[in-house]
Every structure is written in structure tokens, then in C-alpha cells.
Structure 1
Amino acid sequence: MTQDAPDYNEPEIGTSPSDFAAIAREKLRHFLLMPSFGSRSIGLVVLLALIAWVSTGIYKVQPDEQGLILRFGKWVETTQPGLHFHLPWPIETAVFPKVTQINQLQLGQASGATASARDKQMLTGDENVVEADGAIFWQIKDAGLFLFNVAEPEVGLRVAAESALRAVIARMPIQAALSEKRQQIADETKTVLQKILDAEGTGILVIQVQLQRIDPPRQVIDAFNDVQRARADQERARNEAQAYANDILPRARGEAGRIRQEAEAYRARAVDLAEGDAKNFLAVYQTYTQAKDVTAWRLYLESVDAILRKATKVVLDASGKGIGEVVPYMPLAEPPSHAGADTQAAAKSK
């Protein structure tokens, strides 16, 4: 049911100002009159309004985001990518920070008007001073912790990174830090830094630590380079000496081994010969004890035979018996060398 609009007369020309005011009030009252609804219509409107209000709690988190649910402004939950629901506004609201972006923090750069090169000087394990520059690559791991648990997360990250780098370099000698241990320092710094950040609940994930420069301070770099060159010369001389030792010692050991083996062979041969002579002597002695005359005569003949075997000339007694039968069978020819020498001597005498 609707109410009929009241009748009113149009103002006529010449009407007084008070009449104009009355007519204006009447028109305004007519304009503000609303149509009346029944109870069923009112319930439908309320239901639609309630559905619209509840639907405001449906939200979607993108793949590169995390959803943070705030209940009356306080962080209560973190949701992952996908379709979710929270209590409608003003009870709960949702924010969607980006968490996949890779951020970079530069270490060793002067920050502030009072900063100086002393801020990036670090003490090594052998009590030397170096200056180190590096870069920290990081991203948000837990957006709730990152936004609501730490007041200034990037400042905290810088302080923790400098502390971790100093702790790692403090365990390294300067020569290792300047040469072959740079990657090891970066890896250990990443591990130590991540432990610090997790313990403080910063919600930051360290992707990579990259060392860009590790050098001695500018004031002493020339002297340091002289020391390094002297150490390089020392190391080169040591390597040359080691190479010479590696060359000469094996040869000396080989020569000593050869001499030792020859001595062992000579000893074995001398012992065997001595043992053979001793056994031969004992055998002859056994024979001599059994037949002294025969053994003595045999030893005499063997001795004469050994002497005559070395003789170049043999003189025979013509008065001996059986000479005619023996002489043709005796080798009276002289060796060629001695015969040639006798012929030359005879020619000279003529």
C-alpha cells in the first residue's frame, strides 16, 4: 500500500513570501514520503543485505602473495594462495603483501653522515684487519612476521648480516679470506644469518650471500702487498726445494737399495763359496784320514796339473822313461799372443 500524495495548490503570482515558505514545506514533505512495504518485503531486503555483507568476506590470494587476516586491526592468521573466507568487515579485513620478489641489501656501504670506512673493517682469525663488501639477496618467507613482529625488518637484516659476516671472518686467517675461502665464507655467512633471522622471528628468507670485495685497509694495502709478495717468494722457494727433494731422494733411495742388494748377493755368494770350500776341505780330510799316501799323491798331482795348466812352456827331461811315447801327445804349442811376441823378439836380436 502506498500513501496518496497530499493535494496542494501551485503558487500564484503575487503570493506573499510566507505563502511561498508554506508551499516549499509542503513540497518537501511530499518528496520525503516513502512507499510503505509489508513485513515479507522488509525481510527479503534484510536477507539480501545480509548476504551482500557476508559475501564481502570472500577473498582470493594470488600466487605471488600471502593473505594476512586482521581482526579489529590485529594479525591473527596467514593464508596461502587460493580462495578463502574471513569474517566480514569491520570485524576482519585482509591485506595481500607480495612475497616472491627478490630484494637486495648492500653491505659495506656508508649509511648516514657519520659513517666511515671503519664501519666495514673486520678482524680476521689471525688478528689482521680487512674491509669487506657484499650483497644479501632475500625475500619474505612469512609476511605476518615480517610486517607485525619486527619494527624495521630491513634495518634488522642489515645488523644481523654484518654480525654474521664478522663472526665468520673472525674464524678465518687473512690469507684464506683473500683467496680460496671466499665462497666458503659466503656460504657460512648465509647459514649463520638465517639462524639469527629465524631466532628473531623476522619472517625473512636469505636466498644468497655474495661477497664482492675483501681487501686490507687502504692505508696499509701497499705494505700488505709487499708482505704477500715476500710470502709468495717464500712459498715458491719452498716448492722448488720440495721438488728437488722429491727428485733426488727417490734416486738416492734407489741407489742405496741397489747397493744393498749387490752387497746381499755378494755376501750370499761369498758365504756359499766359503761353505763349499769348507765342505770340500772336510771331504778331502776324510779321504786323507782313510788313505794318507794316495791322497797326498793325488793332491800333489792336482797341484802340479794346476801349475802346468798356466805354464806357456814345458821342458822335459830326455833321460826320463817313456818320453817318446808321451811327447807327441803333449800340447807344446804356445799361445798365439806369446808366439808372436817371441817372433818379434827374435827378429830384433838378428
Structure 2
Amino acid sequence: MPWNNQGGGPWGSGPRGPWGSGPQSQGPTPPDLEDLLRRSQDKLRSVLPGGGVGGKGVAIAALVGLVLWGASGFFRVQPDELGVVLRFGQHVRTVNPGLNYHLPYPVETVLTPKVTTNNPIHIGMRLVDDMRRGTTTRDVPEESLMLTGDENIVDVDFTVFWRVKATSREGVADFLFNIQNPEGTVKAVAESAMREVIGRSEIQPILTGARQTTEAAVHELMQKTLDQYGAGITIFQVQMQKVDPPSQVIDAFRDVQASRADQERAQNEAQTYANRVVPEARGRVAQIVQAAEAYKEQTVAEAKGQAARFTKVLEEYTKAPQVTRERIYLETIERIFAGTDKIILDSGGAAGGSGVVPYLPLNELTRRPAAQPQAGATR
């Protein structure tokens, strides 16, 4: 610092000197140690009986100091913490939340890490607080750009949630003593695990439906690596926030994805049409086959019936030819005249008569019982 040469010496004018005689700065003046000691002695003389510090006073002061030193070993562990007690820097035990005691400093000390807090670490992105737009995301390409197994580049942003392994007493001690920078270690392991999983996969499944599989693989690989380190850290969850191609080719990749989606939609529509048409065609085929089978059975049955009837008639004709001929004639005439209108003429009637014989149509009366018959109707 340059000297002020306006005075007569190297420390300027006035009563200032090299050891602080006189005002040296505008800050607060440090306390005078001799004055503090003198005031402490005066207070101690006023408390002790006799107004002096003798052997008895020294013993009382030492006893009070010993009690205060012993009481300084009480400590409280919060519900989200665990207490790690160190004896001359060596881990001796782990205590649960609540009021506990350890041997006073410097014999034993205690560390209370938080073991229930989920700590997030963002890889490939950073959250930036903006007064105008709120929290925004800033991309970190040196962390997010990764090479896939089919030699494509993919931009992956993901978040890892971790916490101290509190399932065992040794896990908290491992977290405190085996790693120096927990956040840096978890971040390096997460980025390494994600690059390894992405390097074993192709870009197409990563961009479409393999996100959960990738997260599970990264989670398992990270936990295995941290357990090998003895880090005392549990990976709670891995969330992939963004998986995209590089910004220079993202439009081309989106066109490819749209084309593949159109292809899948067309295939699904064709499969739906086939699933509808093929069963209908099979149903019509089965219907036609069943109708043909029924017609075949009907025709065969009728032919067999007619053949059996002819055989029976032949047998009867052999026994009585004349009677059988008359019976066949009558049955034929009955079948012919059953569906025709009939007029009966009597050729041997009285002279001058019309020769028409009236008869009662019983069959029509049976079919239409509600109709009123006309009196004197003839046919």
C-alpha cells in the first residue's frame, strides 16, 4: 500500500505510528484484552466469599467450569437427521433423533446430516430464476449431447433425486467420510451411467417408447456404482425431462416421426378393415355351405321318400291292381281339383232344369268362420 507523502514521515503527519498509535481506520476499535481481564477479576472477587481469589475460590471456579464443560455434551438431533458421534475424529456410533449426549469437546463431537431430504441434480440443463419470467431452463449441451449405439447424436436432459442411505448405520458414516463432494459425485456418476445406457441403445426406441426402460437402467447402474464407491447414497428416482435430436436436425427427425406415425396409422386401418371383412366373408361362406348341405339333405330325403312311396304303391298294385288304379285315379283327381273352382252339372236332371247342382263350400267356411254365407249362392 503506498505511503501518504503529504506528512513528514512514512506514516503521515500527526501522532500516527506503525503500531496503531492514533486513528488508523474508520472501523470499530478492537477490545483491550488487559481491560477485559481486569474486569473479569473484579467480578470474580465480588462473587467469591472474602473478596479474594484463594485456593477455595479456584476450586469452586474449576468445579463450575467442569460442570459447564460436562453439560456441553448434550445435543439434539432433529427428526430429519441422524447423529454421527466422533471420538477424536473416529466414528464410534450413530444416534437417533431426539435429545442425546456425547463426551464434551474435544473428546467427542457430533455431525447431524439430513437423511430424509430428496436432493435433485439436473444434468444437461440448469434452472435459472428470472425476475420477469420466473424460473427458466438453460440448456448445457456439453452435458446433454450423447452418442447412441447406431452412431446418432441425441440431446438428453434428466434429473436425479438422491438422499443419504439411512437404512443402515454405516450408510450415514460412509456418506460423511468416503466422499468429499456428494453432489459432484452423484452428478458425475449420473452422466456416466446415462452415456453408457444411451451408447448401448438405438436412437429410435429412445425417442419413442423406451424412456421408462432407459430410466430404470440408469437408476440401477448408478446405484450399483455408488455402492461400489461406498458413498452411502440412495438413488431415489431418475426422470428424463427432454429427449430430442440435436437442434440442427430436429425438424428432419420430426418429419420422419410423422411419416412413421402415418405409416402405423395406415397399417392399423388396413388391419381393422381386414378384421371386419374377413369374418363377414367367412360367415357368408359358412351360411352358403350350410344352405347347400340343407338342400342336399332335403332333396335326398324327398327322393328316398318318393322311392319308398313308389315301392309301397307297387306292392299294393301287385296285390290288387284294379283297386290300386282307382285309388291312384281318385287321389290324382283330388290333388288336381283341390285348388280350382268347381261347378257340378247333373246331366240326368229334370227337363227344363239348369242342370247345376248347388253344394256347400265347407272348406271356405272353415278358413273364414267370421264371414256371413250368402243365401242361395251356387256354383
User: Contact between 2:123 and 2:144, CA under 8 Å: does it hold in 1?
Assistant: no
TM-aligned CA distance change 1:35 to 1:329, over 3 Å: closer
Give 3-state SS (helix, strand or coil) of 1:87's partner.
coil
Give 3-state SS (helix, strand or coil) of 2:69's partner.
helix
Give 3-state SS (helix, strand or coil) of 1:275's partner.
helix
Equivalence for 2:145: 120
Of the candidates 171, 194, 200, which is equivalent to residue 223 of structure 2? Answer: 194
CA distance in 1, matches of 2:120, 2:330: 112
Q: Does 1:157 align with 2:186?
A: yes
TM-aligned CA deviation for residue 55 of structure 1: 2.8
Equivalence for 1:80: 96
Equivalence for 2:246: 217
CA distance in 1, matches of 2:247, 2:95: 51
User: Contact between 1:122 and 1:131, CA under 8 Å: does it hold in 2?
Assistant: no
CA distance in 2, matches of 1:64, 1:87: 23
- Report which of the two has the higher share of helix: 1
User: Contact between 1:57 and 1:86, CA under 8 Å: does it hold in 2?
Assistant: yes
CA distance in 2, matches of 1:118, 1:150: 22
CA distance in 2, matches of 1:323, 1:305: 22
Structure (1 or 2) with the larger CA radius of gyration:
1
Equivalence for 1:319: none
Q: Does 1:131 align with 2:155?
A: yes
Of the candidates 69, 74, 77, which is equivalent to residue 53 of structure 1? Answer: 69
Pairwise CA RMSD: 3.9
User: Contact between 1:75 and 1:148, CA under 8 Å: does it hold in 2?
Assistant: no
Paired letter, 2:86: L
CA distance in 1, matches of 2:277, 2:204: 32
TM-aligned CA distance change 1:242 to 1:128, over 3 Å: farther
Equivalences for 1:79-98 in 2 at 5 Å?
79-98=95-114
Q: Which runs of 5+ in 1 are unaligned?
A: 1-33, 317-321, 332-350
Equivalence for 2:348: 324
Equivalences for 1:1-350 in 2 at 5 Å?
37=55, 48-109=64-125, 117=142, 120-123=145-148, 129-141=153-165, 142-166=171-195, 168-169=197-198, 174-183=203-212, 185-296=214-325, 298-299=327-328, 302=331, 324=348, 328=356
TM-score by length of 2: 0.61
Query: How many residue pairs were aligned?
Result: 284
CA distance in 1, matches of 2:213, 2:91: 39
Q: Which has the higher contact order (CA 8 A, sep 6+)?
A: 1
CA distance in 1, matches of 2:333, 2:268: 70
Over residues 61-108 of structure 1, what are the superposed CA-to-partner deviations in whole Å (9 max), with x where a residue is unaligned?
223433222222223333222122222332222233344444321112
TM-aligned CA distance change 1:248 to 1:106, over 3 Å: same
Over residues 290-313 of structure 1, what are the superposed CA-to-partner deviations in whole Å (9 max), with x where a residue is unaligned?
234433454456557767889999
Paired letter, 2:111: V
TM-aligned CA distance change 1:68 to 1:218, over 3 Å: same
Stretch deviating more after TM superposition (175-184 or 196-205): 175-184
TM-aligned CA distance change 1:149 to 1:270, over 3 Å: same
Stretch deviating more after TM superposition (167-176 or 232-241): 167-176
Q: Which runs of 5+ in 2 are unaligned?
A: 1-51, 127-139, 166-170, 350-354, 360-379
CA distance in 1, matches of 2:72, 2:143: 55
CA distance in 2, matches of 1:152, 1:98: 15
CA distance in 2, matches of 1:84, 1:308: 122
Paired letter, 1:152: N
CA distance in 1, matches of 2:339, 2:79: 114
Give 3-state SS (helix, strand or coil) of 1:213's partner.
strand
CA distance in 1, matches of 2:235, 2:143: 26
User: Contact between 2:85 and 2:111, CA under 8 Å: does it hold in 1?
Assistant: yes
CA distance in 2, matches of 1:329, 1:273: 40
TM-aligned CA distance change 1:306 to 1:66, over 3 Å: closer
TM-score by length of 1: 0.65
TM-aligned CA deviation for residue 323 of structure 1: 5.5
Give 3-state SS (helix, strand or coil) of 1:105's partner.
strand
